[in-house]
């Protein structure tokens, strides 16, 4: 069976004045199956949002193809097109972007259904039913967005997306603006909604604690290239790309002493994606980089089922014993985070 979403060799360039070019996305490919969550993670500026916007057809890709349910996206076929209306939805980082401050929450929730031509009575029923699924108190439906906490606002934002029973929701940093308690509640909500409705998610985020709990698979994006893709468990337990290890270590080991002794240190900052040199995107920051890395882009290699890594030196990374501690510590932190949410 073919994947529900199939992204093939997506490239997005933004030409700048003076002939320079921002290489925001450089040949990204992945698939998402029905009911599955793929997380796209990476530092700020790695191209996550641009990938999301190209997939939704909100901007045109420079190269590459995107298929949803076997049909090609783009050229008028996007989330706003009649053919796909309600089948793909979007959730933003700021709930304010999906909630109109002058419209009551209940009305906002029903709006996508009105687009679909659903009558008032059915809409009202679906809104109340969705509010129950969201854990939104019924009285919240009569409130304006500003009268709700950030966490409840984001619940409503997710509600507005799920209410049409879409097959795919693209979530762009849905938890980044929230405090840890609200974040844990949203994570829990996303998992429950997926179990209930079988919705697939493309989760775009740099918040790895959310990723760990929500995703089936994770793709790590660096300077517009996917450097590693693996089942979630595998990526957190045994990352094989130096960048994945560095990214996890920076989140998992805030203690500088520990970081120095046990994890890969990435030098410097993520460079700007303007006129990138050839070779591996990490070559300038990687402790393993040699002459070949600076001239040749490493192709993705399948190291295990569903586990792909684009690094000439992944065997050296595999030989390092640095990840077990990270993982245990990460699990501990995340468990604490989630128990706060449940309480």
Binding site for Mg ion (CB under 5 A): 49
d(CA 271, CA 158): 33
d(CA 45, CA 317): 25
Phi, psi of 124 (to 5 degrees): -60, -40
CB of 114 to ligand ATP, least distance (A): 31
Phi, psi of 276 (to 5 degrees): -65, 145
Can residue 64 be called a binding residue for ligand ATP (CB under 6 A)? no
Identify residues 206-235 at the interface with ligand ATP (CB under 6 A).
Answer: 206
Torsion angle defined by CA atoms of residues 213, 214, 218 and 219, in that order, rounded to the nearest 10 degrees: -130
Q: Residue 309 is encoded by which pair of tokens? A: 């890594």
- Pair type for strands 200-205 and 37-41: parallel
CB of 49 to Mg ion, least distance (A): 3
Query: Of 37-45, 142-150, 210-218, 310-318, which part binds ligand ATP (CB under 6 A)?
Result: 37-45
Q: Of ligand ATP, Mg ion, none, which one sits near residue 311, judging by CB under 5 to 8 A according to partner kind?
A: none
- In the complex with ligand ATP, which residue's Cβ is closer, 167 or 173? 173
Q: What is the DSSP string of 73-123?
A: -BTTBSTTSGGGTTTEEEE-SSGGGTS-TTS-HHHHHHHHHHHTT--HHHH
Runs of H (alpha helix) within the chain: 48-55, 105-115, 120-134, 150-162, 180-197, 208-214, 232-237, 242-252, 256-262, 291-295, 314-319, 323-342
- Residues 247-276, one symbol each (x = binds ligand ATP by CB under 6 A, - = not), give --------------------------x---
Among 32, 36, 48, 90, the residue binding ligand ATP under the rule CB under 6 A is 48
CB of 221 to ligand ATP, least distance (A): 7
Can residue 123 be called a binding residue for ligand ATP (CB under 6 A)? no
CB of 14 to ligand ATP, least distance (A): 3
Can residue 24 be called a binding residue for ligand ATP (CB under 6 A)? yes
# residues contacting ligand ATP (CB under 6 A): 13
Q: Of ligand ATP, Mg ion, none, which one sits near residue 45, judging by CB under 5 to 8 A according to partner kind?
A: ligand ATP
CB of 230 to Mg ion, least distance (A): 22
CB of 24 to ligand ATP, least distance (A): 3
What value does the CA radius of gyration of the chain take, rounded to a whole number of Å?
21
331 Cβ contact list (under 8 Å, min separation 6): none
CB of 276 to ligand ATP, least distance (A): 11
Chain residues that interact with ligand ATP, rule: CB under 6 A: 14, 22, 24, 42, 44-50, 206, 273
């Amino acid at each position: 069976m073919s994947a529900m979403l199939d992204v093939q060799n997506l490239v997005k360039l933004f030409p700048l004045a003076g002939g320079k070019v921002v290489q925001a996305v450089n040949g990204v490919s992945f698939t998402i199956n029905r009911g599955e969550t793929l997380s796209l993670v990476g530092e700020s500026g790695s191209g996550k949002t641009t990938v999301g916007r190209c997939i939704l057809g909100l901007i045109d890709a420079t190269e590459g193809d995107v298929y949803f349910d076997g049909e090609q996206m783009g050229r008028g076929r996007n989330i706003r097109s009649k053919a796909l209306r309600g089948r793909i939805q979007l959730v933003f980082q700021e709930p304010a972007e999906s909630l109109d401050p002058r419209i009551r929450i209940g009305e906002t929730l029903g709006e996508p259904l009105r687009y679909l031509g659903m009558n008032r009575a059915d809409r009202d029923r679906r809104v109340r039913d969705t509010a129950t699924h969201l854990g939104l108190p019924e009285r919240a439906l009569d409130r304006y967005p500003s009268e709700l906490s950030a966490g409840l606002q984001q619940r409503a934002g997710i509600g507005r997306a799920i209410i049409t029973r879409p097959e795919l929701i693209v979530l762009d940093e849905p938890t980044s603006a929230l405090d840890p308690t609200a974040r844990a509640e949203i994570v829990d909500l996303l998992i429950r909604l997926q179990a209930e409705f079988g919705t697939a998610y493309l989760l775009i985020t740099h918040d790895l604690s959310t990723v760990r709990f929500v995703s089936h698979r994770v793709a790590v994006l660096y300077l517009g290239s996917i450097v590693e893709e693996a089942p979630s468990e595998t990526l957190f337990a045994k990352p094989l790309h130096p960048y994945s290890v560095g990214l996890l270590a920076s989140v998992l080991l805030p203690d500088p002493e520990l970081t120095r002794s046990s994890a890969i240190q990435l030098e410097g900052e993520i460079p700007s994606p303007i006129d990138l040199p050839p070779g591996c995107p990490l070559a300038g920051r990687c402790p393993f980089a040699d002459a070949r890395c600076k001239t040749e882009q490493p192709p993705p290699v399948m190291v295990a089922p569903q586990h792909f890594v684009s690094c000439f030196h992944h065997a050296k990374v595999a030989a390092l014993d640095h990840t077990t501690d990270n993982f245990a510590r990460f699990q501990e932190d995340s468990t604490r985070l989630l128990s706060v949410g449940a309480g």
